[in-house]
A and B are shown apart, each in its own frame.
Chain A
Amino acid sequence: MRFKIRRFDGERSYWQEFDVPVKRGMTVLEALYYIKENLDPTLSFRASCRMGVCGSCAVRINGKPRLACETQVSKLKEPVKIEPLKNFNVIRDLVTDFEGFFKKHEIVKPYLIRKSEGEIRQTPEQLKRYYIYTLCIKCGACMSACPVAKNCLGPMPVVSAYRFNEDSRDEGKEERLKILSDHIWHCHFVAECSEVCPKDLNPAEVIQKLRLEVLKFSMRW
Chain B
Amino acid sequence: MSRALLLPQVFKIKTIKRLTPDTLLYEVTDQDGNFDLSYRPGQFMEVSIFGSGECPISITSTPSRPQHIEFAVREVGLVSGAMHNLEPSEHIGLRGPFGNGFPIDALKGKDIFFIAGGIGLAPLRSLINYMLDHREDFGAIDIVYGARSPELLCFAEEFAAWQEAPDTRLHLTIDKETPGWQGKVGFVPAIVKELGLPPRDRAAIACGPPVMIKFTLLDLAALGYPDEDVITTLELKMKCGVGKCGRCNIGPIYVCREGPVFRLSELNRLPAEY
**Do A and B actually bind?**
no
